[in-house]
Structure 1
Amino acid sequence: MSADLTPETPAPPAEVPPELPPYHGIALADVRLVRTPAEAEAARAALLAVDAVGFDTESKPTFAKGESSTGPHLIQLATDSVAYLFQIGANPPLAELRAILESELTIKVGFGLSDDVKRLHAKLGIRAAGVVDLSVALRGGQRNDLGAKSAVAKFFGQKLQKSKKISTTNWASARLSDKQILYAADDAQVALRVFRHWIAAGGQLPPQRPAKPPRPPRQPRPPRAPAPASGDTTPASADKTEPA
């Protein structure tokens, strides 16, 4: 019996997924750089007047081995229509930032916020409350967290462009470029847009942990009791028992 030498039919080429249309983020005209006390107060009023805001921070990158970050150097907070950028220089508007970030009535939503919250507290003493990390909330039982790019593709069918070159620029600079401003503003507002879409589709907020109360100031230790006189073996703190 002869072998069948008929050539096999080649498998059809794998289907290449279509390129997603680009995500169009916030316009430069809708970004506010908060520089003066009046601008900080206006931002505070606008951000506390809504139920939820987009939230993110940026820090100057570290490149040397063992070097610690001194961030955050920029805090981004966005409503549905406007993004506010707070540069953390020598005199940041701490009262306004604390009022916004520590409020439990205004939800702060963002992606991968664990380090942002830790740095915020370490540098500025602000304990952010009402924080929803969408990377965790949106994973829906899956093992891996969902990032902003994946969320935009999933919910909007669009491609979020995130430039690594811009993300590693100097965020501590006193003068930010337009590309830095748009990158930072988009990071905050895209989180809010994803959150709105997710909630409208039936998403459920995770239970919120109550904010930790501030630690009371450490009290000075009381002075030590004088050492007992020679021959007296009774400890100074012991109660002496009278004989019956």
Structure 2
Amino acid sequence: MIKALEIPEQYLRAFSKDDINAMPLRRYEGPVVVVRTDKQRKKAIREMEAEPVLGFDTETRPVFKKGKKPGPPSLVQLATADRVYVFQIGVLPMCNGLCDLLAEKRVIKTGVAVRDDILGLQRLAEFTPRGFVDLSDITAQANMQTHGLRNMAANLLGFRISKSAQCSNWAKDRLSPQQVTYAATDAWVSRKLYLALQELGLIKR
């Protein structure tokens, strides 16, 4: 998956908080489908099965009590070339196609720290993950100093993304517009980063 080659020096530097905060703020502004019904899920899965690369992320309800472990994810976000699907798996279980998509080797699912996301999802349903690419693994092997989603976006895309909604309640029945935008942005950026690394020659086409 990863080529051993030189990449421009500009991508190898570290970014401070001040560096990132000085960059323009971007968020996903395209269409988002919040998947809550069987009909929506079937349509979404059918469309994503034809996509070669999907941006991937999950959101989990935060835990504020010391010593208490977080529960399984409440959302799964998947970004195509022209829209983002936000699956409310706390409302609509993961069966009937979503697990099959996550196990489909042919469709690349890419994100940051995907192992933790997968482990969380496997608490809800049985599936064998295939086709996942962790962006952090690629940047680490290329000796890049940026591994988290926010740092990678600054380095490779030239903008910052907001983390203001990160600790909100993802398990609630009706998500706010701010939550939907935040969740969609993470998946959208993951896909854009994969394509940017591909352009640098770090991922084989």
Cα deviation, 1:128-174, whole Å, max 9, x if unaligned, reads: 211111012122343866111221121122222222xx111111000
Kindly report which structure 2 residues correspond to 1:1-244, keeping only aligned pairs within 5 A, or say none: 20-27=22-29, 30-89=31-90, 91-142=92-143, 146-163=147-164, 166-204=165-203
Identity of aligned residues (%): 32
What is the match of residue 236 of structure 1? none
Alignment partners' CA distance in 2, 1:129 and 1:52: 13
Alignment partners' CA distance in 1, 2:127 and 2:146: 26
Alignment partners' CA distance in 2, 1:125 and 1:194: 28
Give the TM-score taking structure 1 as reference length.
Answer: 0.70
Supply the AA of the counterpart residue of 1:26.
Y
The runs of 5 or more residues in structure 2 that have no matched partner are 1-17
Contact 2:20–2:160, Cα closer than 8 Å, also in 1: no
Between structures 1 and 2, the one with greater helix share = 2
SS in 2 for 1:108: strand
Supply the AA of the counterpart residue of 2:123.
A
User: 1:19: Cα distance to partner?
Assistant: 6.4
Contact 1:107–1:132, Cα closer than 8 Å, also in 2: yes
SS in 2 for 1:124: coil
Alignment partners' CA distance in 1, 2:136 and 2:53: 17
User: 1:17: Cα distance to partner?
Assistant: 6.2
User: 1:18: Cα distance to partner?
Assistant: 9.5
Alignment partners' CA distance in 1, 2:20 and 2:179: 29
SS in 2 for 1:117: helix
Q: CA, structure 1 residues 17+67, in 2 after alignment: closer, same or farther (shift >3 Å)?
A: closer
Alignment partners' CA distance in 2, 1:91 and 1:76: 14
SS in 2 for 1:94: coil
Cα deviation, 1:29-78, whole Å, max 9, x if unaligned, reads: 51001112111011001111111100010111112233232211111111
Structure with the greater relative contact order (CA < 8 A, sep ≥ 6): 1 or 2?
2
Supply the AA of the counterpart residue of 1:193.
K
Give the TM-score taking structure 2 as reference length.
Answer: 0.83
Q: CA, structure 1 residues 90+143, in 2 after alignment: closer, same or farther (shift >3 Å)?
A: same
Q: CA, structure 1 residues 23+192, in 2 after alignment: closer, same or farther (shift >3 Å)?
A: farther
Q: CA, structure 1 residues 51+64, in 2 after alignment: closer, same or farther (shift >3 Å)?
A: same
Supply the AA of the counterpart residue of 1:111.
V
Alignment partners' CA distance in 2, 1:154 and 1:110: 16
RMSD: 2.1
Alignment partners' CA distance in 1, 2:92 and 2:199: 39
Q: CA, structure 1 residues 93+204, in 2 after alignment: closer, same or farther (shift >3 Å)?
A: closer
SS in 2 for 1:77: strand
SS in 2 for 1:115: helix
Alignment partners' CA distance in 2, 1:162 and 1:86: 20
Q: CA, structure 1 residues 183+73, in 2 after alignment: closer, same or farther (shift >3 Å)?
A: same
